Amino acid sequence: MIEGEFSGTVIKGLSKNKNIKGKELSKDFIMEEIAMFSSLTCRDYSTRISKYKNSESISFFLKRKNLYLKHIQLN
């Protein structure tokens, strides 16, 4: 599930630097996002505002924990 959230653009960009493993760094980033948004919902925050689209991994994880975070995408 988390690997399905990887951005090809991010991995491709990171892969240009031979010292950075794009896939591992992307996985770490997604895991940190899940932890951050889970923490926000547990503290009664109910809305996420971002210029990026909603993450399916975060939504899936929150749903499994019976949590909800409204997503507003800025243009």
pLDDT in tens, 17-40: 666 666 677 777 778 888 888 888
DSSP 17-43: STTS-HHHHHHHHHHHHHHHHHHHHHT
pLDDT at 72 over 80: yes
Q: What is the pLDDT of residue 58?
A: 79
Q: What is the pLDDT of residue 74?
A: 92
Give CA–CA dist 57/16, Å, rounded.
Answer: 26
pLDDT in tens, 38-57: 888 888 888 988 888 887 77
pLDDT at 15 over 80: no
pLDDT at 13 over 80: no
